[in-house]
Amino acid sequence: MPAIVLIGAQWGDEGKGKATDLLGSRVDYVVKFNGGNNAGHTVVIGTEKYALHLLPSGILTPGVTPIIANGVVVDIEVLFEELDALISRGVDVSKLRVSANAHVITQYHRTVDKVTERFLGKRQIGTTGRGIGPTYADKINRVGIRVQDLFDENILRQKVEGALDQKNHLLVKVYNRRAISVDEIVDDLLSYAERLRPMVADTALLLHEALTEGKTVLFEGGQATMLDVDHGTYPFVTSSNATSGGAVTGSGIGPNRIDRIIAVVKAYTTRVGAGPFPTELFDESGEFLRANGFEFGTTTGRPRRCGWYDAPVARYTARINGVTDFVLTKLDVLTGLDVIPVCVAYSVDGVRYDEVPVSQSDFHHAKPIFEDFPGWSEDITGARTFEDLPRAAQDYVLAIEKMSGARISAIGVGPGREAIISRHDLID
Ligand code: GDP
Ligand code: IMO
Ligand code: MG
């Protein structure tokens, strides 16, 4: 029985929520190991549509134990809101466990996120404004508040005092905002403690025991490889490790326990927020992808930037994460195009790059070198085997598989749970 890591291959919103849901009933535990409520996963089950942010998508599968692990940053108010929304729709959330070591997003983190973005002006990252970056900064700076601190008022107060000491200077003197009082933060956090207490656990130990007993554990990454703080398009990234390594540090299991690494990749590319994006389209083709793919953010509602499939990015993802399988999503969105260009390499000031360049400036200036593939016009949303796809769609999948560094084991042909073609079993 395996431990499986599932991550995003591009800049997020690849359809990780749907892919997780797909594995659903065969999984015993589903673990969120990085990020927070900056994520937005849409899962469509029959006529019901669920938008999840902080909770792992696997929470929708009956019988699964969802875990929010130590690598996550938790906005407790949002946690309760999301839980209540699911409870009111009849979802059983009683098995959720939250790591005592996860860091807590507070009001001052959200405030600092918003004011720093404003002060960056045209160098803005375009964050989700949820306080993610400042909370991870406090964690690394060793002035963070952890879930376990909520159960010792004395310690909590000392830690909040320590954190606010610096931040109030910054807020008042640099950003011209009001100071935040220790009491308002402490009272706010303490008000959540009793409801949270039964959910809090040593999740690293729990996962160790589960894996030892032979349970199937799915580690569900938020964000994506190109948004990873180490391996993404820094500084236009999120503040956590969204790559497969993050599943290890973010949950407390050993790397040798992981059996499968699945990357979810869209049949084209999208990005939300600022930063380099070589295949980005500014013409009607981009509009076609945005309209057909409903490319608007699940978290912020922002229109997503759209572009063609970038094979060097997929290859980079395969390499950085040790990908064993790709799940290719949204192939149906390409239906109706006469020609589908795929980026096979880049040109930077006349020099050809077959791989993602290590220099940030080079990647900013990278111009895609495209190879064109014939499109198809048949509706493919009902296809359930590879052979059901029109020849041109099959050829497109086989061509990008060859360029991308790992096999394509499943293909999404629509938003619904059933709209999937399976080529290789993802759990064995
Ligand atoms: P995530 O953040 O990676 O979980 O992805 P999002 O949920 O933010 O965005 C993916 C969107 O694509 C969601 O609205 C899904 O319902 C939808 N989706 C997922 N797979 C497919 C697919 O194969 N075809 C189509 N048309 N939509 C899909
Ligand atoms: P899922 O899990 C797409 C982007 C933001 C911004 C940058 C930093 O749904 O794929 P942050 O608030 O994290 O400090 O913002 O990262 N970003 C995402 N883009 N999908 C996401 O999550 C994202 N989470 C963060 O738009 O550019
Ligand atoms: Mg998303």
- Over residues 142-193, the pLDDT tens digits come to 999 999 999 999 999 999 999 999 899 999 999 999 999 999 999 999 999 9
Q: Residue 257: which of 266, 265, 249, 248 has the closest Cα?
A: 248
Q: Where are the domains of the chain?
A: 3-91+203-422, 103-198
C-alpha span between 88 and 76 (Å, rounded): 18
Which residues line the pocket of ligand 2, CB cutoff 6 A?
8, 12-13, 38-41, 125-128, 130, 132-133, 222-224, 227, 238-239, 272-273
Atom of ligand 2 nearest to the CA of 302: 26
CATH architecture of 103-198: Orthogonal Bundle (1.10)
C-alpha span between 22 and 274 (Å, rounded): 31
> How many CA atoms within 13 Å lie on the side-chain side of 234?
11
- Could you give the residue ranges of the DSSP H alpha helices within 13-106? 16-23, 76-88
SS3 24: helix
Counting Cβ atoms within 10 Å, is residue 65 exposed (0-12), middle (13-18) or buried (19+)? buried
Which residue, judged by its Cα, is nearest atom 26 of ligand 1?
A: 414
Max Cα distance, the chain (Å): 67
Q: What's the gap in Å between 295 CA and the centre of ligand 3?
A: 10
Q: What is the pLDDT of residue 24?
A: 80
Cα 397 to chain centroid, rounded: 23
Q: Which amino acid is at 401?
A: E
Q: What's the gap in Å between 33 CA and the centre of ligand 2?
A: 15
Is the minimum distance from the CB of 130 to ligand 1 under 6 angstroms? no
Which listed ligand is nearest to 45 at the C-alpha? 1
Q: What is the pLDDT of residue 22?
A: 86
Q: Do residues 240 and 8 touch, judged by C-beta distance below 8 A?
A: no
Q: How many residues does the chain have?
A: 428
Q: What is the pLDDT of residue 368?
A: 98
Q: Which helix (H) or strand (E) holds 215?
A: none
Phi, psi of 11 (to 5 degrees): -110, 30
Q: Which residue's structure tokens are 């200077």?
A: 169
Q: Which two tokens stand for residue 368?
A: 């895609």
Q: What is the pLDDT of residue 308?
A: 98
Counting Cβ atoms within 10 Å, is residue 136 exposed (0-12), middle (13-18) or buried (19+)? buried
Is residue 75 among the annotated active site residues?
Answer: no
Same fold, 3-91+203-422 and 103-198: no
Q: For the chain, which residues score pLDDT lower than 50?
A: none
Q: How many CB atoms lie within 10 A of CB 399?
A: 17
Q: How many CB atoms lie within 10 A of CB 90?
A: 7
Q: What is the pLDDT of residue 212?
A: 96
Q: Do residues 217 and 28 touch, judged by C-beta distance below 8 A?
A: yes
Q: What is the pLDDT of residue 209?
A: 97
Which residue, judged by its Cα, is nearest atom 19 of ligand 1?
A: 15
First to last CA, the chain: 7
Counting Cβ atoms within 10 Å, is residue 173 exposed (0-12), middle (13-18) or buried (19+)? exposed
Q: Which two tokens stand for residue 346?
A: 């880049």
> Who's near 26: CB < 8 A, 6+ residues apart?
216, 427
Atom of ligand 2 nearest to the CA of 128: 12
* CATH class of residue range 3-91+203-422: alpha beta
> Who's near 384: CB < 8 A, 6+ residues apart?
420, 421
> Who's near 340: CB < 8 A, 6+ residues apart?
308, 309, 334, 372, 373, 374, 375, 396
Phi, psi of 19 (to 5 degrees): -65, -40
Atom of ligand 2 nearest to the CA of 299: 9
Q: Which two tokens stand for residue 112?
A: 């600092």
With left for phi above 0 and alpha for psi between -120 and 50, is residue 358 left, alpha or beta?
alpha
Q: What's the gap in Å between 15 CA and the centre of ligand 3?
A: 7
Q: Do residues 409 and 327 touch, judged by C-beta distance below 8 A?
A: yes
Is residue 379 among the annotated active site residues?
Answer: no
- Could you give the residue ranges of the DSSP H alpha helices within 74-106? 76-88
Phi, psi of 410 (to 5 degrees): -150, 150
Q: What is the pLDDT of residue 1?
A: 61
Q: Which two tokens stand for residue 293?
A: 């793919």
Which listed ligand is nearest to 302 at the C-alpha? 2
Q: Do residues 217 and 210 touch, judged by C-beta distance below 8 A?
A: yes
Is the minimum distance from the CB of 44 to ligand 1 under 6 angstroms? yes
Query: 21, 41, 149, 332: which is the annotated catalytic residue?
Result: 41
Verify cis geometry, omega within 30 degrees of 0, for the bond prior to 374.
no
C-alpha span between 188 and 190 (Å, rounded): 6
Q: What is the pLDDT of residue 301?
A: 86
For 346-376, the pLDDT digits (tens) are 999 999 999 999 999 999 999 999 999 999 9
